Amino acid sequence: MPLNFEFKAKTAHLSFLETKLLSLRPRFIGEDLQTDTYFNATIGRLKLREGNIENALIHYTRSNVASAKSSNVILYQHHPEPALKQILEKAIGIKVVVVKRRRIYFVENVKFHFDVVEQLGSFIEVEAIDSDRSIGIDTLKEQCQHYASFLLIDSKDYVSESYSDLILNTKK
């Protein structure tokens, strides 16, 4: 199972942050219009991501803390197939749907998401990934701290919750 350390921050300056990252000459993966359907999981979060770049069934657990944090992720990449969503919907029900436009970059093992989320606004996510557990959690933490500092992310802008929780909170 890969090891992840990540942070998410709300921002009103998404294009400034993206321009700043471009100075490092990151690898651009593309722009993805993603629909994340969250299901009623009993433990952690279970979402089906449908996009033009990324398509995966993802289960994850992580603490809701407003800082960089460790995340336990199981990711099943698949070819889009409507039956998978229908099975999950019938078996456990849909909790909430999140729609976003995401620009994706990499610098080595660190993934950057520049997100515009319907109903919520603009965010940046930085995810340090150790896919084969050869890097270690300490290095992943250092990478997140480095990029938070480089991108001038203020600790007050960190977001503790997932987009799904944020959308559910707006409906209360």
Choice between 28 and 160, residue whose per-residue pLDDT is larger: 28
Q: In the chain, which ranges are continuous DSSP H helix?
A: 14-22, 82-92, 137-150, 163-170
pLDDT one-digit tens code per residue, 29-75:
999 999 999 999 999 899 999 999 999 999 988 777 666 767 788 88
- Separation CA 33–CA 13 (nearest Å): 20
User: What per-residue confidence (pLDDT) applies to 79?
Assistant: 86
> Between vectors from CA 168 to CA 2 and to CA 99, what angle results, nearest 5°?
65
Q: What b-and-e string marks burial along 48-65, b requiring 16 or more CB atoms within 10 Å of the CB?
A: bbbbeebbbbbbbebeee
User: What per-residue confidence (pLDDT) applies to 66?
Assistant: 67
User: What per-residue confidence (pLDDT) applies to 16?
Assistant: 97
Coil/strand/helix, residue 67: coil
Q: What is the pTM of this model?
A: 0.90
Enumerate the domain spans of the chain: 3-170
Residue with tokens 């997140």: 144
User: What per-residue confidence (pLDDT) applies to 146?
Assistant: 97
Coil/strand/helix, residue 96: strand
User: What per-residue confidence (pLDDT) applies to 69?
Assistant: 67
> Between vectors from CA 35 to CA 172 and to CA 117, what angle results, nearest 5°?
55
3-170 CATH fold: Hypothetical Protein Pfu-838710-001 (2.40.320)
- Backbone torsions φ then ψ of 36, nearest 5 degrees: -105, 115
User: What per-residue confidence (pLDDT) applies to 128?
Assistant: 95
DSSP 156: G
User: What per-residue confidence (pLDDT) applies to 97?
Assistant: 97
User: What per-residue confidence (pLDDT) applies to 133?
Assistant: 86
Choice between 4 and 21, residue whose per-residue pLDDT is larger: 21
Q: Please check whether residue 69 is in contact with residue 6, taking contact to mean a CB–CB distance below 8 angstroms.
A: yes
pLDDT one-digit tens code per residue, 67-86:
676 778 888 888 888 999 99
Average pLDDT, the chain: 92
Q: In the chain, pLDDT over 70 holds for what percent of residues?
A: 97
